[in-house]
Amino acid sequence: MNSMLTNSQQKTIRSQLGRVKLQLLYKASIHGFTGAAFHQRCDTRCPTVSVGYNASGYVFGGYTKQPFSQSGQYVHDDQAFLFTFSGEKLLKYPVTGPANALRMMANCGPYFGETLVLVNGSKAVVYTNPGNYYHFNAAEMHGNDLNLTECEVYEVEETTELERPWRTITWESEKKKELMETIKTYKPTVSSVSQVRVLLIGPVGAGKSSFFNSINSVFRGHVTSQAIAGSSTTSLTTQFRTYSVKAGRDGKHLPIILCDTMGLEESTGAGLDIDDISSILKGHLPDRYQFNPSAPLHSETSGYRKSPGLKDKIHCVAYITDACKVSIMPTKLEEKLNAIRRKVNLMGIPQLVLVTKVDEACPLVTEDVRNIYKSGYIKEIMQEVSARLGVPLSCVVPVKNYSEELELDPNCDILLLSAIIQMLRFTDNYFDEISDQFSNIEVKE
DSSP secondary structure letters along 138-183? HHHHHTT--BEEEEEEEEEEE--B-SS-SS----SHHHHHHHHHHH
- Among residues 158, 186, 206, the one where a domain terminates is 158
Whether the per-residue pLDDT at 128 is higher than 80: the answer is yes
Verify that 373 and 432 share a domain, yes or no.
Answer: yes
Residue 120 covered by a domain: yes
Verify that 55 and 145 share a domain, yes or no.
Answer: yes
| Selected residue with higher pLDDT from 11 and 67 | 67
| Spatial distance between the Cα atoms of 122 and 79, rounded to a whole number of angstroms | 26
Residue 80 covered by a domain: yes
Half-sphere exposure of 414 (CA within 13 A, CB side): 17
Domain of 437: which CATH number?
3.40.50.300
Can you give the pLDDT at residue 117?
96
pLDDT digits (tens, 9 = 90+) for 321-376: 999 888 777 888 888 888 889 999 999 999 999 999 999 888 889 889 999 999 99
| Selected residue with higher pLDDT from 336 and 122 | 122
Whether the per-residue pLDDT at 22 is higher than 60: the answer is yes
Whether the per-residue pLDDT at 291 is higher than 80: the answer is no
Verify that 224 and 120 share a domain, yes or no.
Answer: no
Verify that 189 and 98 share a domain, yes or no.
Answer: no
- Contact predicate 10/85, CB 8 Å: no
Q: Tell me the mean pLDDT in the region 266-280.
A: 69
| Spatial distance between the Cα atoms of 295 and 38, rounded to a whole number of angstroms | 42
**Which of 40-49, 410-419, 431-440 has the lowest average pLDDT?**
431-440
Per-residue confidence at 19, pLDDT binned at 50, 70, 90?
A: confident
Can you give the pLDDT at residue 276?
76
Per-residue confidence at 227, pLDDT binned at 50, 70, 90?
A: low
Residue 167 covered by a domain: no
Whether the per-residue pLDDT at 441 is higher than 70: the answer is no
Whether the per-residue pLDDT at 237 is higher than 50: the answer is no
Exposed (0-12), middle (13-18) or buried (19+): which is 372, by Cβ within 10 Å? buried
Residue 208 covered by a domain: yes
State how many domains the chain has.
2
Can you give the pLDDT at residue 438?
54
Verify that 342 and 302 share a domain, yes or no.
Answer: yes
Backbone angles phi, psi at 23, to 5 degrees: -110, 120
Verify that 219 and 350 share a domain, yes or no.
Answer: yes
Verify that 277 and 340 share a domain, yes or no.
Answer: yes
What pTM does this model have? 0.74
Can you give the pLDDT at residue 21?
87
Beta-strand runs (E) in 297-410: 316-322, 351-356, 396-398
Verify that 196 and 92 share a domain, yes or no.
Answer: no
Whether the per-residue pLDDT at 39 is higher than 50: the answer is yes
Range of the domain at 153: 7-158
Verify that 433 and 316 share a domain, yes or no.
Answer: yes
- Contact predicate 290/302, CB 8 Å: no
Verify that 87 and 212 share a domain, yes or no.
Answer: no
Verify that 267 and 369 share a domain, yes or no.
Answer: yes
Q: Tell me the mean pLDDT in the region 103-119.
A: 95
Residue 143 covered by a domain: yes
| Spatial distance between the Cα atoms of 189 and 197, rounded to a whole number of angstroms | 14
Can you give the pLDDT at residue 160?
82
Residue 165 covered by a domain: no
- Among residues 129, 158, 187, the one where a domain terminates is 158
Residue 61 covered by a domain: yes
Verify that 110 and 179 share a domain, yes or no.
Answer: no
